[in-house]
Structure 1
Amino acid sequence: MPVRLTDLPRLLGANELKPAWLIAGSEHLQVMEAADQLRARARDLGYAEREIHDVDHRFDWNELTMSGAAMSLFSMRRVIELRMPTGKPGKEGSAAISAWCADPPPDTLLMITAQEWSKKHEGAWFKAVDKIGVALPIWPLKREETPRWISARMKSRGLKATPDAIEMLAERIEGNLLAAAQEIDKLSLLVGNTLLDVDTLESSVADDARFDAFRLTDAAIAGDATRALRMVDGLRAEGAEAIPLLGWLLNQLRVLLRLSSASGTLAQAFQTERIWDAKQTGFKRALRAGDAAHWERCIVHLGRIDRIAKGRGAGDVWREIERLIMAIAMPRRGADLLGADR
């Protein structure tokens, strides 16, 4: 049976780890931290080699088979990581993972991570992993659960806060746990053992550059192209790193794509995506202006920007980000800027 995140410490405390693990969910921070804990425990148990495979639609699943058949160069335990963002391996991938689980190689741990997850993902390969290993789907926190998570996170960092301050931070981060974690780490350094109140939190968050990415995407989705482009200029002038910004842009574009493709009412989709009332007007505007095909083109263009940022493609990263922001803010006019990606 699939396990919960609260079960992870117990599972990692065993003398031996299960041969296959799946850690999946749209809560990227929790997926990342759970995967980090598994890697750390694996190292403690002698899994000294690590092999990473990024799974996309061009991935050759024979690579997984060959990795399983290959012997360790130094006769050490190995971790084989499959980074599968969509959580959908396809027919060939499902067969390859199922075959691996049917006869797992000795001294080898298979770790699969995914950034999207729902009950619809639970196919034959998922059952194969669950049968011999650990399936850990991480579900998004509900709005009422967020303050409790923030409180526990603060406590783990030695930070004390008033209930009002905790509630304020929950409202400010609007369900983004990564933003909350970053802010809590900063506050723990600034505040120390002093009780964190609303005034201190307000002054800290108001001028925090960490939130520029969130403000930028909010402006673009709301259709305020002028403000969004001005923010891009500011980030570039400050020497900001493009890759973290791209991560949040990808997150929001995937939300727009899921919303535009969702069945049922928009209100239900907003609830599923945890889009709070304050942001719904902007998302409604974006969904009226752009269809699913447009958001898919935006995601493709973002992939091109990511390759440029990592030195794998030619072009000006910030110029391409400007084009993407225009396409988000003004889908009908800005779509022409993505023409090269069609």
Structure 2
Amino acid sequence: MESQPEQLAGQLASGPLKPAYLIAGAETLRVLEAADAVRAAARAQGISEREVFEAEGNQREPDWSAMESSFNAPSLFASRRLVELRLPTGKPGKEGGRVICEFCANPPADVVLLVTAGEWSKKHAGKWSEAIGRIGVISLAYPVKPHELAGWIDQRLRSRGLKADRDAVQQLAERVDGNLLAAAQEVEKLALLANGDTIDLARMESLVADSARYDVFRVIDAALNGQPAQLARMLSGLKAEGEAVPALLGMVVMELQRTAALARIEARGGNIAAEFKAQRIWDSKQPMYRRALQRHPAPRWEAFVSQAGRVDRMAKGRERGDPWTALERLLLAVAEPRAIRLLARSDG
């Protein structure tokens, strides 16, 4: 059985818990809230004992032997217990898959299994997840796409007993800029301040702060995804917030070097998929890099790395020029090939 994360709480309230749940995806807030809904339902149904299995220290995997033994051991302090398995990579491996499959083939009456994973794609699915689906619920928390964000916000407002017109919802979507956690926080604030009135655009603007996350990670994503307008807006926000160029440049250089390495391998006909794996680039991030590689040849990525060195020297006063202007022109060139000509004027 499959279920949307936001629908899970309602389904849990309508009957007893299933023997197993798999909640996975890159959208952390949706995974956390769906898992919390399972935990809350477990408490409501008298399940007070809870065990957690995850990789610790230098271990790459949870202790599968201990988990298997736990499945077969009686509860110590309660008639039923919740066993949580945390898989950040979404892959239990051969041994873990076996343990999960055997659990699902004959689930103990006193155990509810909750598996959470921070990554998910078709490549992650297997016999173990199919086994969970047969006896329980699979809930996949994919990132909310830009065109879906307003609908997600509207649904969340309604779940808190709030009403907002279309323009107000769109305004909130633009201000949180894809950050679901910021959107959730703003909705909670609106629940306290709206006084039950329908929220129109003017009311939304007066109640909601600009929560867009103008951080370096989103700046880099916008550059690699080819989104120059969004990139320029976020850089302007960072500058207005008083961020210093050197604080941003480390991540920028690292990502440019990573993309340049990918471009070199692709140019010589190498195995780009293997390089993604070697650099630990998640499946969900790979399309972004592929789009970036399609816009520029390998030598240009090397030039971008060199240009980042110039920005660094400007920021440290070792070369003439405005580092903010140079950084903006560099990243605009990454996002839009037609902006390459701006680099010739990076001395500001």
Q: Scaled by the length of structure 1, what TM-score is found?
A: 0.62
Offset of 1:35 from its aligned partner?
A: 1.4
Residue in 2 aligned with 1:59? Answer: 62
State the SS of the aligned residue for 1:96: helix
Q: 1:150 to 1:11 in 2, by over 3 A?
A: closer
Residue in 2 aligned with 1:237? Answer: none
Offset of 1:85 from its aligned partner?
A: 1.8
- 1:266 and 2:297 matched: no
- 1:106 and 2:109 matched: yes
Match of 1:154, as an amino acid? L
Offset of 1:65 from its aligned partner?
A: 0.8
Measured in 2, the distance between the counterparts of 1:117 and 1:24 equals: 6
Residue in 1 aligned with 2:126? Answer: 123
Q: 1:264 to 1:177 in 2, by over 3 A?
A: closer
Residue in 2 aligned with 1:247? Answer: none
State the SS of the aligned residue for 1:116: coil
Measured in 2, the distance between the counterparts of 1:90 and 1:116 equals: 14
Q: 1:105 to 1:118 in 2, by over 3 A?
A: same
Between 1:66-75 and 1:86-95, the stretch displaced more is 66-75
Residue in 2 aligned with 1:49? Answer: 49
Offset of 1:123 from its aligned partner?
A: 0.6
Q: Which of 170, 173, 188 is equivalent to 1:170?
A: 173
Structure-to-structure mapping, 1:279-318, within 5 angstroms: none
Q: Which of 128, 136, 139 is equivalent to 2:139?
A: 136
Which protein shows a greater Rg? Answer: 2
State the SS of the aligned residue for 2:123: helix
Match of 1:20, as an amino acid? A
Q: 1:263 to 1:92 in 2, by over 3 A?
A: farther
Match of 2:98, as an amino acid? A
- 1:183 and 2:186 matched: yes
Matched pairs, number:
254
Offset of 1:2 from its aligned partner?
A: 2.9
Residue in 2 aligned with 1:90? Answer: 93
Contact 1:220/1:228 (<8 A) preserved: no
Q: 1:287 to 1:90 in 2, by over 3 A?
A: farther
- 1:35 and 2:35 matched: yes
Q: Deviations over 1:125-161 (max 9, x none)?
A: 1111112222222333333332122112112223332
Measured in 2, the distance between the counterparts of 1:78 and 1:219 equals: 44
Greater per-residue helix proportion: 1
Q: 1:262 to 1:38 in 2, by over 3 A?
A: same
State the SS of the aligned residue for 1:158: coil
Q: 1:260 to 1:130 in 2, by over 3 A?
A: closer
Residue in 2 aligned with 1:18? Answer: 18
Measured in 1, the distance between the counterparts of 2:32 and 2:111 equals: 21
Q: 1:36 to 1:192 in 2, by over 3 A?
A: same
Match of 1:89, as an amino acid? P
Gaps of 5+ in 1: 233-253, 270-279, 291-328, 331-342
Measured in 1, the distance between the counterparts of 2:52 and 2:115 equals: 10
Between 1:149-158 and 1:260-269, the stretch displaced more is 260-269
Match of 2:150, as an amino acid? P
Contact 1:18/1:134 (<8 A) preserved: yes
State the SS of the aligned residue for 1:120: coil
Match of 2:158, as an amino acid? K
Offset of 1:103 from its aligned partner?
A: 2.5
State the SS of the aligned residue for 2:66: helix
Q: 1:2 to 1:257 in 2, by over 3 A?
A: closer
Contact 1:87/1:121 (<8 A) preserved: yes
Residue in 1 aligned with 2:226? Answer: none
- 1:68 and 2:71 matched: yes
Identity %: 43
Offset of 1:9 from its aligned partner?
A: 4.8
RMSD value over aligned CA atoms?
Answer: 4.0
Residue in 1 aligned with 2:151? Answer: 148
Q: Which of 161, 165, 186 is equivalent to 2:164?
A: 161
Measured in 2, the distance between the counterparts of 1:265 and 1:71 equals: 50
Measured in 2, the distance between the counterparts of 1:187 and 1:71 equals: 46
Structure-to-structure mapping, 1:182-331, within 5 angstroms: 182-206=185-209, 211=212, 214-215=214-215, 217-218=217-218, 231=243, 258=283, 261-262=286-287, 265-266=290-291
